[in-house]
Structure 1
Amino acid sequence: MESLQVGWIGLGNAGYPMAACLAKRGHRLLVRDADPARSVQFVEKYPKCRMATLDAESFKDCDVVVTMLPNGEVVRDVLFGDHGIAGHLKPGSVVIDTSSSSPFHTRDLGGELAKLSVDLVDSPITQERLHAIDDRGATLMVGSDSPDALQKVMPILKDMSTHVFPMGGLGTGHTMKTLNNYVSVGSIIALCDALVTGQKLGLDPQTMIDVLNVGTGVNFSTKYSMRNLKSFDTGYQLELLVKDVKIAKEVIEQSGFESELPGLALKYLEDSLKLVETGADHSECIKSWEQRAGVEIAKTERRGDETRLQRSGSVSQKEPVLYF
């Protein structure tokens, strides 16, 4: 099959390693990021790739454009904003949105792109283990209304990841992503409940984490993002987690299913948001649990198989956990 010209927009914590997966497999990407330094860094490491200009026409020769951006609003602005690229994409091209977006907004966006003879495929990501995105181990959930568009981009998706799941029509990828995140949020809330309760009853929170990780309570937060308690450097913002819960609440309500848990989860996390600074790490949500419980979770620094209890301070992990 003839090689496709692939454009890539968004080289953040997730976008950079995912784009690198394609570059390592021979794709000559045309890349752009809001921070030009990220693009410079990328093309210096992968010299067969090129930097896109800021012109709206910069992606006009691309067969496929991948967006990996913070949310659907940013995706829409990149496509249809004042300097949007959508009107300059060639007919028959495909946009792959890997961002975490509302499935309803995705369907609306797909309709607008269809008027320009451009197809939209939603393919958000998650991961089962730390750094899976670095070695094609991420999980892609894919939605498309066009069998031809899906067939066209499938080789690209498989070069990004070995775990590619077609979910159905346009928006189903984002539906699966938001439900995945909703399940994960449930584990975060239960973990915060357990940690403050355990400490009030005399348990060591770090030992609790160790027990959970070899018990039925194990989850991504216990294994990775909250394993080193109060490090607060997972690379995923609390604002984004709140955004994801809002989307999940909307999806569940629109399905006609009634559940009180989405609203309760959203309330707890929005309360947490009031206590932290803008841009705070999602793991800082524990602060509102501490406030309600009247306790301060003890901090433990890990060194090999040993632990050292601290009552204050923060010990950074070597690199962000990247919670998706």
Structure 2
Amino acid sequence: MSSSTVGYIGLGNAGYPMAACLGKAGYSLVVRDADSDREKKFVDEYPKCKIASVGRDAFKECDIIITMLPNGKIVRDVLLGEHGIARSLKAGSVVIDTSSSSPFDTRELGAQLSKLSVDLVDSPITQEYLHAIDTAGATLMVGSDSLLALNKAMPVLKDMSKFTFVMGGLGSGHAMKTLNNYVSVGSIIALCDALVAGQKFGLDPQTMIDVLNVGTGKNFSTAFSMKDEGLTRRYQSGYQLELLVKDMKITKDVIESTGFETKLPDLAIDYLQDAMSVVKQGACHTECLKGWEKRAGIELKKSEQRTEAVTEEDGRKL
């Protein structure tokens, strides 16, 4: 465990379990969230931690401040807005942004923080399986222009992750994050297409998932999110559809910045925005299935949640 004093801002669906990893490791965190009930719940669960005081001086004694917020605009406002904390941070402190933000905005934010003698490290998260972040199983993608800041951050990052990859300079972590999500969205779109087309052809959606999970079509959605949350109609993956659209817009910007031309980002955004038109704000990303169902004129057969792996006997039944 690092001896650094750590502040943690953002106790949402991802932030709470990530902060909890540090709480379990013995850190005395200073926490803040827009929801005071979540703050209270966290410090009740981890008594060594405390709720940050009101005002911009709340994190002035922290060596490291971690942000896990919905987007880069909110991160910027928390740090440099009217009530921003950055001007009260001590020289040499490190801000670690684990949010899903634009790498271009991250670089700009880093330049502004450096004028205050504060270093920025980007370290967004992904995971091998659903809810891996709950047990320090996250994968972190790290970007930093400062070796000193990176060395300060790494012990803390390793205490809340399974894998930690240093991708390059500042913004590299956020670039990798959005490209990771891009690949994931590609599989989501293909899966939704396959499920509605398969059912219209006469195939059973759950059996399709079973086949995909023991074949070359296996991916995160077939193995976890769509299997457990989408086809079951639970819709509790913890990741909102609107955030997925935001991430695809970041992906489009990153790809365009390289000069490479592809139509897939626009197609993905169109499909996901179409799905957003038929669900409520804040809907789970697996509810995007409803957009495909509407276009196909069908409702996919609901499946029961299954935790066991497909067996040889299942295969014979197929």
Worse-matched range after superposition: 279-288 or 87-96: 279-288
Please say if 1:297 is aligned against 2:289.
Answer: no
Shift of 1:305: 6.3
The 5 A counterparts of 1:148-297 are: 148-228=148-228, 229=231, 230-297=233-300
Tell me how many residue pairs correspond in the alignment: 306
> What displacement does 1:42 show?
1.0
Q: How far apart are 1:289 and its partner, in Å? A: 1.2
Q: Distance in 2 between matches of 1:211 and 1:183?
A: 21
RMSD: 1.5
Tell me how far apart the structure 2 counterparts of residues 126 and 303 of structure 1 sit (CA, whole Å): 23
Aligned pair in 2 of structure 1 residues 89, 195: CA closer, same or farther (>3 Å)? same
Q: Identify unmatched segments of 5+ residues in structure 1.
A: 307-324
How far, CA to CA, are the matches of 2:40 and 2:14 in structure 1?
17
Q: CA deviation at 1:131?
A: 2.3
How far apart are 1:130 and its partner, in Å? 2.3
Q: Which residue of 1 aligns with 2:143?
A: 143
Paired amino acid for 1:99 = S
CA gap of 1:2–1:174, structure 2 versus 1, over 3 A, is closer
CA distance in 2, matches of 1:30, 1:39: 10
Higher helix share: 2
TM-score relative to the length of structure 2: 0.93
Structure 1 residue 303, shift from structure 2 partner: 6.1
- Once the two structures are superposed, residues 271-319 of structure 1 have per-residue CA deviations (whole angstroms, 9 ceiling, x without a partner) of 111121111111111112112222211111236769xxxxxxxxxxxxx
Match of residue 312 from structure 1: none
Identity %: 69
Deviations 1:122-175 (A, max 9, x none): 000000112211222100000000001001111111111131000000000000
Q: Deviations over 1:45-73 (max 9, x none)?
A: 11111110121110011110000111101
Could you tell me how far apart the structure 1 residues matched to 2:266 and 2:17 are? 34
Q: Which amino acid aligns with 1:285?
A: C
- With 232-241 and 113-122 compared, the bigger mean Cα shift is at 232-241
Match of 2:47, SS state, is: coil
How far apart, in 2, do the equivalents of 1:85 and 1:48 lie? Answer: 22
TM-score calculated relative to the size of structure 1: 0.91
